[in-house]
Amino acid sequence: MTPTPPTLLVLDADPPPRLGRLTGRARIVHTDAGRLAERLPGADVLLVWDFTSHAVREAWPGDGPRPRWVHTASAGVDHLMCPELAASDTVVTNARGIFDQPIAEYVAALVLAAAKDLPRTLEYQRERTWRHRETRRVAGTRACVVGSGPIGRAIARKLKALGVTTALVGRVSRTGVHGPDDLDRLISRADWVIAAAPLTDRTYRMFDTHRFGVMQPSAFFVNVGRGGLVDEEALARALTRRWIAGAALDVFAAEPLPGDSPLWELPGLVVSPHMSGDTVGWRDELGVQFVELYERWAAGRSLLNVVDKTCGYVPGH
């Protein structure tokens, strides 16, 4: 008798993942958020393809069995973690490794654009205004990158290649990485402050009135981590009162950013729609990564990118 293949439940987003390689090796069931709770007990594996959804966190508590493995097609896991999942023996994995270089390139582009005053150049071009200015030299400036995971390390390497002296801050101090106690000192000297940390209880709104007040008036702040890292009202005050020179947000507390949000019109703020890691073909890369992980799981081999559910990220960095 042919054994029944494991049931793979996919929390869908458009476009759906390409899972053709798993034909005959998994019973693939697609679901939306509304039917997730009723289908969880029958699933061996859950693929959270819709990584913007909080449906897993809402549906996980309840009666019946739960998947033995959950994979999210994102670096962050805060959207799916809940006490019941954290306490369970379910393995959680993430898409570590897919977004490192694209996000690093995006941050480097923002730093160069800010230093060279490109937004105002484009504005003057639209106005047909010829206005000569002087711009900043990037080489020789200082950056503080908060978040010492693969994304933070990739950002640090990219900025160093531009001649920026870069300090990396992580959860604990170790060789090449500063601890949280050094953060205020480092951001007070930095020209560029980059937030690339995971969202946890310890990092929630870590960039608040105090932190923006510590920064130099010439500093430029970038958040490519999670929206919850920033007290957005505090950032608005810092920009309006010119405590800092400018900022760029790619992630927000509420996404999509509401049309009536005051952030759209803040002076010196660049708003982008959570796209810093999304390059051409990124969904295909996420699909290939999951299929390779599934093949390891089906063969009884240890999974990669296993998240420490108490910390909220993959340990070892």
Length of the chain (residues): 317
Please report where in the chains the tokens 């999210």 appear, as a residue.
72
255 included as an active-site residue = yes
- The amino acid occupying position 18 is R
Helices 100-115 and 150-161 pack at an angle, to 10 degrees, of 40
Catalytic pick from 71, 79, 211, 226? 226
Torsion of CA 54, 59, 61, 66, to 10 degrees: -110
Q: Is 274 a catalytic residue?
A: yes
Q: Where are the alpha helices (DSSP H) in 55-195?
A: 55-59, 83-87, 100-115, 118-126, 150-161, 183-187
Rounded to 10 degrees, the C-alpha dihedral 167/208/245/179 comes to -10
Task: Give the C-alpha separation, 12 to 203, whole Å.
Answer: 29
Query: Of 274, 283, 285, 317, which is the active-site residue?
Result: 274
Q: Which of 123, 255, 292, 295 is catalytic?
A: 255
The question of whether 157 is a catalytic residue gets the answer: no
Catalytically active residues are 226, 255, 274
